[in-house]
Amino acid sequence: MCTQHRKSFLISIAACFILAGSAFGQGELRFCLRSEPKTFEPLKVEDEASATIRYLTGGVLVRMNRQTQALEPELAQSWKVSKDGKQIIFKLRSGISFSDGTPFSAEDVAYTVQQLMDPALHSPTGDAFRSGPGNVETKIISPTQISITFPAPVAGLDHQFDQVAIMSAHSPKKEMAVLGPFMVDDYKPGASLLLKRNPNYWKTDEQGRHLPYIDSIRLDIQPNRDVEMLRFKRNELDLINTLDSEYFDKLGAISPQLVHDAGPSLDSEQMWFNEVAKSPLPAYKKAWFRSEAFRRAISEAINREDLSRVVFRGHAQPAVGPVSPANKFWFNAKLKPESYSPDTALKALQAEGFRMENGTLKDKDGNAVVFSIITNSGNKYRERMATMIQDDLQKIGVHVNVVTLDFPSLIERMTQSFDYEAILLGLTNVGLDPNEQMNVWLSSSDNHQWNPSEKAPETAWEAEIDKLMREQASSADPKKRKEAFDRVQEIVFEEAPFIYLVNRNALSAVAANVQGASPVILVPQTYWNVERISLK
């Protein structure tokens, strides 16, 4: 009898442990990838789906906390960047193994960095480190200490390692041996991907429990957002990482506790005029588009508040410039969004020789101010914004024709033939550092959209931007870099080569059974702390 009681007691204790464990330990998190991952090799990642896999499986030396935007130690216990911004020394954690049991050491870091900088591999992640000609030098000081020296200063050097998943130099499983919280277990092309918990993951929580809490993650490949939404409503998915404002409101009306608006994201919507000298536009239109007064007047005549409130149902903020207010450090807080003032805009245009005749604005040579805005067909938010801008500009006598084109045709006009007048598109920013925008602001760049690949800066303000961007890129002093980039933002505001419209909010949905998710504005919004997410 006594023995039976003891058995029951032990069984009860064991059951309690299992139940307590189940609050954290079991379960499968399910969400969607919007496209097929192109690669599992972390250094070759350039698409969103592959970046998701890298985030969930890759172990990094340092990680930017998506909530505080501060850099935190991961595989590196500590690190030090030299004053000239060329060298970084990492002190690594010991006793860590890859998912297949291969021990982790400084050799793996050296191997990863060499691969990263190998011109033959042409790693998109490595581009951020290529600041000058020459080779990178890696010096293994001890199994837990490594020094990496770049040929030229790399701005925000330590931050760049947030994207570098460390690969094993010795594992036979190559890139499938990982240091992150999960590892790829099963992949059904076109259908789904199953990630299993990495049994050798090194992290524990404050109570000493091994992370991650959940056993597995099922990623269904589903490009259709309607289907994704329906499946979420049917409890077949636990997360929607980025939600449209329309769906956000509809879902929020039924279950307000499931939707999250984290505020303005890094993404911006903007329009710009064609300022390419060799474009096949008539000379008088080129003169309008190259005039700072014209661009500013158009910018002032656009009601950004309405765009945010109507098109994005209040889930967007009027944009100021190339940096979203969400980017806490780099945003120039002195700048405010262009105020809506059609009267001021009209006066400014009249001061430039434009005049109003029977409701139509004409330039000093009598040409009616008419231009087209192209946007990509199928993007209902951009189509709506263009239609609202058309209506706004009508008030100052400017006639706008809205044209929707398929994306390849639009890109061809934007980058090859330059046969367009104005374009409305969005920019997705993933990183916080201004260096991520180098390819947009340098006048020699292909992505300097309003006037790409200039042989020499065609205007004084573009020359100043070039100088400031290079200055900030070659400096290791965050204060100096900030000053230079603040000035860039001021010039962009004054000259309006891009007319920034809105910053969309980061909207997401998290099912009621998910615990510990705390959506933020930075990618990946809902599962940035995946190792601490659990399921009820």
Partner 1 sequence: MRIGRATTWRGAACAVLLLVAGVSLAANWIAPEGYAKQYREAADAPPSHAHWLGTDEIGRDRFARVLYGTRISLLLAPAAALLSTLMAALIGGLSGYLGGAWSRAAMAVTDLFLSLPWLFLLITVRAVLPLNVSPLFSVLVTFLILGLLGWTSAARVLCATSATLRDSDFVRQARASGIGAVRLFWMHVLPNLKPVLYAQFWISIPAFILSEANLGILGLGVAEPMPSWGSLLKELEGLVSVGEEPWKLVPLILLAIVVTSFQFVLARQEEAAA
Considering only residues 387, 447, 515, 518, which one is a binding residue for partner 1 as defined by CB under 8 A? 387
Q: Does 250 sit near partner 1 (CB under 8 A)? A: yes
* 410-429 footprint of partner 1 as x/- string (CB under 8 A): ---------xxx--------
388 lies in the binding site for partner 1 (CB under 8 A): yes
- The CB-of-378 to partner 1 minimum distance in angstroms stands at 6
208 burial class (0-12, 13-18, 19+ CB within 10 angstroms)? exposed
Q: Is 306 in the site for partner 1 (CB under 8 A)?
A: yes
What span, in angstroms and rounded, lies between the C-alpha atoms of 335 and 356? 31
230 binds partner 1 (CB under 8 A): yes
Using the 8-state DSSP alphabet, how is residue 97 labeled? B
- DSSP conformation letters of 248-304: HHHHHHH-GGGEEEEEEEEEEEEEEE---TTSSS-HHHHHHHT-HHHHHHHHHTS-H
- In 3D space, the residue among 502, 506, 532 whose CA is nearest the CA of residue 517 turns out to be 532
Residue numbers 196-225 binding partner 1 by CB under 8 A: none
Helices within 377-452 (DSSP H only): 380-394, 407-412, 438-441
Which residue from 76, 117, 167, 229 is in contact with partner 1, where contact means CB under 8 A?
A: 229
Shortest Cβ distance from residue 518 to partner 1 (Å)? 27
> Does 101 interact with partner 1 (rule: CB under 8 A)?
no
Task: Confirm or reject binding of residue 130 to partner 1 (CB under 8 A).
Answer: no
Closer CB to partner 1, 201 or 247, in the complex: 247
DSSP SS3 for 325: coil
Q: Which stretch binds partner 1 (CB under 8 A): 41-49, 170-178, 399-407, 505-513?
A: 399-407
CB of 384 to partner 1, least distance (A): 5
Site string for partner 1, 258-297 (x = CB under 8 A): ----------------------------------------
The answer to the question of residue 247 lying near partner 1 (CB under 8 A) is: yes
- What would you measure as the largest C-alpha separation in the chain, in angstroms? 108
Residue 58 near residue 180 (C-beta atoms within 8 A): yes
Selected binder of partner 1 within 170, 380, 480, 536 (CB under 8 A): 380
Q: How many residues bind partner 1 (CB under 8 A)?
A: 36
Question: Which residue, 244 or 267, is less far from partner 1 as judged by CB?
Answer: 244
> Given the complex with partner 1, which of 96 and 502 has the nearer CB atom?
502
Contact between 405 and partner 1 per CB under 8 A: yes
3-state helix, strand, coil in the chain (%, to 5): 35, 25, 40
Listed ranges 264-272, 336-344, 386-394, 426-434: which one lies at the site for partner 1 (CB under 8 A): 386-394
Secondary structure (DSSP) of 44-79: G--SHHHHHHHHHH--BSEEE-TTT--EEESSEEEE
Residue from 69, 216, 344, 404 in contact with partner 1 (CB under 8 A): 404
**Backbone CA torsion sign across 303, 308, 311, 313:** negative
* CB of residue 103 to partner 1, shortest distance in Å: 50
What residues contact 88, with CB distance under 8 A and at least 6 apart? 79, 80, 81, 82, 147, 148, 157, 158, 161
Q: Select from 75, 177, 316, 386 the one that contacts partner 1 (CB under 8 A).
A: 386
Rounded-to-integer distance, Cα 97 and Cα 180, Å: 10
> Binding to partner 1 by residue 441, rule CB under 8 A?
no
Q: Which residue has the tokens 């910053």?
A: 503
From 75, 184, 271, 311, residue interacting with partner 1 (rule: CB under 8 A):
311
- Nearest CA to 42 out of 177, 244, 187 is that of 177
Cβ distance to partner 1 smaller for residue 265 or 375: 375
89 binds partner 1 (CB under 8 A): no
Q: Is 390 an interacting residue with respect to partner 1 (CB under 8 A)?
A: yes
Beta strands 239-240; 62-64: pairing state: unpaired
Query: What's the rounded Cα separation, in Å, for the pair 533 and 536?
Result: 10
Q: Are 465 and 443 in contact (CB under 8 A)?
A: yes
C-alpha angle with apex 239: 237 to 241, nearest 5 degrees?
Answer: 135
Compute how many other C-beta atoms are within 10 angstroms of the C-beta atom of residue 230: 12
CB of 162 to partner 1, least distance (A): 36
Residue 367 interacts with partner 1 (CB under 8 A): yes or no:
no
Task: Rule CB under 8 A: say whether 124 interacts with partner 1.
Answer: no
What part of residues 156-175 is at the interface with partner 1 (CB under 8 A)? Answer: none
Which residues in this chain contact partner 1 in the complex, by CB under 8 A?
Answer: 226, 229-230, 246-247, 250, 306, 309-311, 313, 370-372, 374, 377-378, 380, 383-384, 386-388, 390-391, 399, 401-406, 409, 419-421
